């Protein structure tokens, strides 16, 4: 059954520049100190901002965090991830109890500090970095789409196609333009006697949303959920394009064919507009849903909170597949989360099995997959990145990533108990050496994806 979910009521509209992410050390005295600040006169309704300076006498060892609370610079303190215990607390008591981890996971020590303005947040960040009770503090790092409109996308490579007419033949009418299917030996894979489709494999896509009513995506998306302040619909078109590559309905005589036939796609919107806090919560939601594969066609600078959450996802058994990035001609800086340990990092290849000119390189790359002129679904309504409606062809490591994520889902369909390392090894050993490769290279990783050999 398909569920549409508007913005979660627990996700408040925020201004990212006013926010800091703080990872507190598991320090009981810190909690007690803040409780003294709030409850010194026996009331649970007073806010931190209203706390009088004389209450500092109750603080056994005043830290930068506690001084910020006293100054009124902090508008709110809340856990990044809610827990029942914190929901029960009201008013300032909620803030006081928020400083003690409510669970046992490392991510339970993460908190959001919201400030009056950007300048206050910047000053606080510098002060909190010196606080012995704070493990780290940072602003949420930006995350970019790795396709048209994202950083470093190759321009002028898109081709339009609006066709979704039914045909009398068996094949989908636009499948002949999906050069990537042949390149990764997708047709050969389907002929394997042991081939099993990924209909029941759950894949989470954290992106810009999806047009789940697209005729070629009927029944594909099991849930839509937004973690941004924007509308639920895919106003950019990027998420719809990624999901079409993954799982557009095959042999319905409409449009294109998806690589795997998963009917359990979770579309988790965290971009368009981007929300750092929403992005973290989307990853946590995917973990809580025990998804088998997580597709991240996005990237940006290193973010310590993202690293904690990606590690938690992998440790829980989720295969995380991420885009290498499109910034090769703009400095080729490592893009995260692709550069994190145990993430399957995907670069883009061309129709002649070369590295796409925009595709990032580096020692962390796992393999490459088709990433130029990739035809897929876009919203049936006008969207920011699509030059047409219904279908469009785009370049980007964003487009290469779902080729690999879908193959990971096919591996999991055939071998449900395969561990994350087993899936990675299958992809690595199955990859074709191309362009004169004799082994691993920082341009092409272990080679170009071969679905048949990986299975």
Q: How far is CA 311 from the centre of its chain?
A: 13
Residue 314, token pair as written in the block? 């992998």
What torsion do the CA atoms of 102, 107, 111, 117 make, to the nearest 10 degrees?
-160
Q: Is 207 a catalytic residue?
A: yes
Cα separation, 105 vs 108, whole angstroms: 5
Sign of CA pseudo-dihedral 251, 257, 259, 263:
negative
What is the DSSP pairing of strand 293-296 with strand 203-207? parallel
Return the bridge partners of 22, or none. Answer: 111, 137
Return the bridge partners of 391, or none. Answer: 161, 377
What is the DSSP pairing of strand 3-5 with strand 221-226? parallel
Torsion-angle region of 311 (φ positive above 0: left; ψ -120 to 50: alpha; else: beta): alpha
Angle, helices 64-71 vs 118-128, to 10°: value is 150
Return the bridge partners of 88, or none. Answer: none
Overall residue count recorded for the chain in this entry: 455
CB 391 within 8 A of CB 172: no
Q: Is 36 a catalytic residue?
A: no
CB 19 within 8 A of CB 121: yes
Q: Is 238 a catalytic residue?
A: yes
Residue 324, token pair as written in the block? 């290498």
Which is the catalytic residue, given 257, 359, 398, 454? 398
Which is the catalytic residue, given 131, 172, 207, 392? 207
Which is the catalytic residue, given 36, 111, 214, 238? 238
Q: How far is CA 204 from the centre of its chain?
A: 9
Residues known to be catalytic: 207, 238, 398
């Amino acid at each position: 059954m398909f569920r549409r979910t508007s913005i979660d009521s627990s996700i408040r509209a925020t201004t990212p520049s006013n926010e800091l992410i703080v990872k507190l050390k598991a320090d009981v005295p810190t909690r007690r100190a803040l409780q003294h600040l709030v409850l010194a006169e026996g009331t649970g309704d007073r806010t931190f901002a209203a706390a009088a300076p004389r209450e500092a006498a109750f603080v056994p060892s005043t830290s930068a965090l506690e001084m910020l609370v006293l100054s009124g610079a902090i508008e709110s303190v809340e856990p990044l991830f809610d827990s029942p215990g914190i929901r029960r607390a009201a008013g300032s008591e909620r803030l006081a109890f928020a400083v003690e981890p409510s669970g046992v996971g490392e991510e339970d020590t993460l908190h959001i500090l919201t400030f009056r303005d950007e300048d206050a947040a910047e000053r606080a960040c510098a002060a909190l970095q010196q606080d012995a009770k704070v493990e780290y503090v940072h602003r949420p790092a930006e995350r970019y789409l790795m396709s048209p409109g994202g950083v470093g996308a190759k321009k002028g490579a898109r081709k339009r196609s609006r066709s979704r007419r039914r045909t009398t033949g068996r094949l989908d009418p636009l499948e002949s333009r999906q050069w990537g299917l042949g390149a990764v030996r997708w047709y050969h894979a389907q002929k394997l006697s042991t081939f099993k489709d990924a209909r029941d494999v759950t894949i989470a896509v954290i992106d810009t949303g999806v047009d789940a009513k697209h005729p070629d995506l009927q029944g594909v998306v099991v849930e839509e959920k937004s973690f941004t302040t924007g509308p639920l619909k895919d106003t950019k078109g990027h998420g719809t394009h990624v999901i079409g590559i993954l799982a557009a309905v095959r042999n319905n005589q409409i449009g294109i064919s998806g690589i795997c036939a998963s009917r359990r796609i979770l579309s988790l919107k965290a971009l368009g507009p981007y929300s750092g806090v929403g992005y973290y919560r989307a990853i946590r939601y995917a973990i809580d849903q025990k998804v088998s594969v997580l597709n991240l066609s996005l990237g940006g600078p290193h973010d310590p909170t993202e690293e904690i959450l990606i590690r938690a996802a992998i440790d829980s058994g989720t295969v995380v597949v991420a885009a290498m990035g499109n910034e090769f001609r703009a400095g080729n800086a490592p893009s995260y989360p692709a550069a994190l340990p145990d993430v399957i990092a995907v670069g883009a290849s061309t129709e002649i099995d070369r590295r796409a000119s925009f595709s990032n390189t580096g020692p962390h790359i796992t393999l490459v997959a088709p990433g130029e002129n990739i035809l897929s679904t876009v919203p049936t309504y006008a969207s920011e990145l699509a030059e047409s409606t219904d279908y469009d062809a785009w370049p980007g490591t964003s487009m290469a990533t779902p080729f690999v994520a879908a193959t990971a889902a096919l591996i999991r369909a055939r071998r449900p108990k395969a561990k994350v390392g087993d899936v990675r090894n299958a992809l690595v050993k199955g990859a074709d050496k191309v362009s004169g490769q004799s082994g691993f290279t920082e341009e092409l990783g272990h080679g170009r994806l071969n679905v048949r050999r990986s299975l």
